[in-house]
Structure 1
C-alpha cells in the first residue's frame, strides 16, 4: 500500500514537470498555423476553422489549452482572443524560428534516444531539409554577437576578414554595410547556402562569396586581420579541430585574430541547455560534440597562441565568444 502511494506521488510529480512543455507546444502550433494572428481579434472557433480550413475539434482542443495556460482569453458569445500581455511568437520571427528548431529538431532527436541506444546507431542531420531553420536561428545569435565584432574591428583597425562557414552571409552583410572599406571573403561548402549568401551580398562590392570546402581552399593573401568561425564547431570532428584552426592561423598576420562563436560544453553558464544541446549533436552521425573551454585553450596553446577573450553572449544557452591571437 505504501509503495502504491509512493508511486502515485511520483506520478503526480512528473505530471507537474510536464506542464511547462504545454506552453512550448501551444506556442509552436499557434506559430506554425498563424493561429495567434487569426485570434488577434476575437473570433469563434467555427469562424477560424472555416477560414483556415483546419480541423474544428482539434482547434477546440488547442483553444482549451491556450485558455488554461493564459495564452488566450475567452470573450463573450464563444469568442476567443490572444492575450496581448504575453510575448507570443509572430510568423517568421526569430523567436518563432527558435521554437520551430526546438520542436522539430531537438525534441524529436532526444525522443529517439531509446531506439538509438538499443540499436547503437545514430540519425543523420538533413541539411537540405533543416538548414534554413538552423540558418534563421543563427541570425538570432548574429544579432547578439555583432557588438563583439564591432569592438574587434574598431580596436584592431581591421581591413580584411575571412568568414569560414559564412552561411547565408548575415555577418558579412552587416559588417560590409557599416564598414565598406573592409575587404571580406565568405566561404561555405553548401551550394544552396552559398547561393543565398550571394544574393544577400550581391550589391556589396567589398564582399566575395566562395563555394568551396575550407579543407581544400586557401586565400590568396596570408596577411588577413580576422578569421571568423561562427556556429560551425559542431560540424567539425573533435580530432580535426586543431588542424582546421591551425590552417586558419596561417592566413593571419602577426597581430591577426581568430574569433570563434559556439555553444560550449560543461560551461559556467547554461549547463542544462548545453548538456541537452550536446545530446542533440551526439545523436547525429554527421554532427559532433561541443567543445569545452579547455578544448579551445588547448588548441590555442598548441599553436603557440593564447585565448585572449572567452565571454558568454547568451548565458542561458551557454553560447560563448572566444578570441584567439598570437602571444
Structure 2
C-alpha cells in the first residue's frame, strides 16, 4: 500500500514538474499583451505603474514578482527594469518581437484545446473567426516565413521571375522583402482578410514599393487574373485552411496561373512528419476543434494533389524540423 501511494505521489510530482516551462511563457505573454516591458523600460515602481495605468495592484505585483524570479525583470530598490531579452522580443514596437506567437497560443490554441471534453461529448465543434485573429495569424506566419526565406530566395534567384504571386500574403512583409532583394519583377499579394490587405498596402507606401508590389483583397478561386501569368506562386501557412478534398482544386487553380516553366513554393506544416510529430499533433488538434478549419496535410497527400494538377515535387527543404514545417517546390511536368 505504501509503495502504491509513493508511486502515485511520484507520478503527480512528475506531471507538476512538466508544467514548470509554462510559467516563463505565461509571464512573457502577459508582459507583451499589456506592453508592460516597454512601460517599465525606464524603470518604474509598482505604485507608479498602478497610478499611471490604473492596473490592479496585487495582480501586477504577483506578475512582477514572478518576473524577478524568472530573470525577466531586475529589481533595484522599488524600481523594476526588464531584461534586454524581454525588451528585444516582447515589446510591441520591437522589430524582433515574437509576442504574437504567444498570443496565438494563449488566445487561440489553448482555449480550443481546453474545450475538447465538451466538444467530444456534445459532438459540436467551434467556429474560428479569422477576422478576430487576422493580424496575429499574419504575424506568426511571418516568423515561419522568415526561416523559409533563404529557400524561397534561392528559387527566385534561379528563376529570375517577371511576375510573383503570394496567396494568403498577410500583411505583405514577406513578399516585399523578396521584392527588395530582386532587381526585376512585379510582385502581387492576395488575401481574403481586408484588415491585413489594408496594412500591407500602407506598408508598401511606407517602404516606397507601391509601384513594384500590389495587394488585392480577393478569394484566389474567384479572382479575375490572366492565366499562365506568374513565374512563381507562393503559398505560405495556407493549406490547412482548405478542406482536404478541395486542396486538389487549389492546386488546379494555381497550375492555371503558373507560367510554363514556373514554380510553386509551398511552406507548410506536415502532419506527423518525422521530427515534428508532437507539434504537428498539437496543431492538428487545434485545427480539428473548428468546423471551418481543416486537418494538416500529409506529404503524400500534397504530392498526389500536385501530380493530379500536372505538377511534380522538385525539392523539399526543412524549415523548422521540431515544428514539422517544410518548404516544398513544385513545377509543371
The TM-score with structure 1 as length reference comes to 0.91
Q: 1:307 to 1:37 in 2, by over 3 A?
A: same
Match of residue 130 from structure 1:
133
Query: Which consecutive residues of structure 1, in runs of 5 or more, have no partner in the other structure?
Result: none
1:247 corresponds in structure 2 to 253
Match of 1:90 in 2: 91
- How far apart are 1:182 and its partner, in Å? 0.7
**For residues 66 and 223 of structure 1, do their structure 2 counterparts lie closer, same or farther at Cα, with a shift above 3 Å needed?**
closer
User: What is the aligned partner in structure 2 of residue 195 from structure 1?
Assistant: 198
Q: Determine the structure 2 residue equivalent to 1:20.
A: 21
1:204 aligns with 2:210: yes
Q: What SS is found at the alignment partner of 1:285?
A: coil
Contact 2:145 2:267 in 1 (8 A): no
Cα distance in 2 between the residues matched to 1:88 and 1:196: 22
Q: How many residues align?
A: 326
Instruction: Give the corresponding residue for 2:113.
Output: 110
Offset at residue 65 of structure 1 (A): 1.8
- Change in CA separation of 1:191 and 1:32 when aligned onto 2, cut-off 3 Å: closer
Aligned-pair CA distance for 1:27: 0.9
Cα distance change, pair 321–156 in 1 and its aligned pair in 2 (3 A): same
Matched with 2:49 is 48
Match of 1:289 in 2: 295
The match for 2:284 among 271, 278, 303 is 278
The Cα shift of 1:230 comes to 1.3
Separation (CA, whole Å) in 1 of partners of 2:254 and 2:263:
10
Cα distance change, pair 31–218 in 1 and its aligned pair in 2 (3 A): same
The offset of 1:44, in angstroms, is 3.1
- 1:15 deviates by 1.5
In the aligned structure 1, how far is the partner of 2:128 from the partner of 2:251?
Answer: 24
Separation (CA, whole Å) in 2 of partners of 1:40 and 1:208: 38
State the partner residue of 2:6.
5
Q: Normalised by the size of structure 2, how large is the TM-score?
A: 0.89
1:281: Cα distance to partner? 1.0
Question: In structure 2, do the counterparts of structure 1 residues 47 and 191 end up closer, same or farther at CA, with 3 Å as the change threshold?
Answer: closer
Give, in whole Å, the separation in 2 of the partners of 1:171 and 1:33.
Answer: 27
Matches within 5 A, 1:51-62: 51-62=52-63
1:159 aligns with 2:165: no
**SS state of the match for residue 280, structure 1?**
helix
Aligned equivalent of 2:273, options 267, 278, 296: 267
Contact 1:73/1:82 (8 A) holds in 2: yes
SS in 2 for 1:19: coil
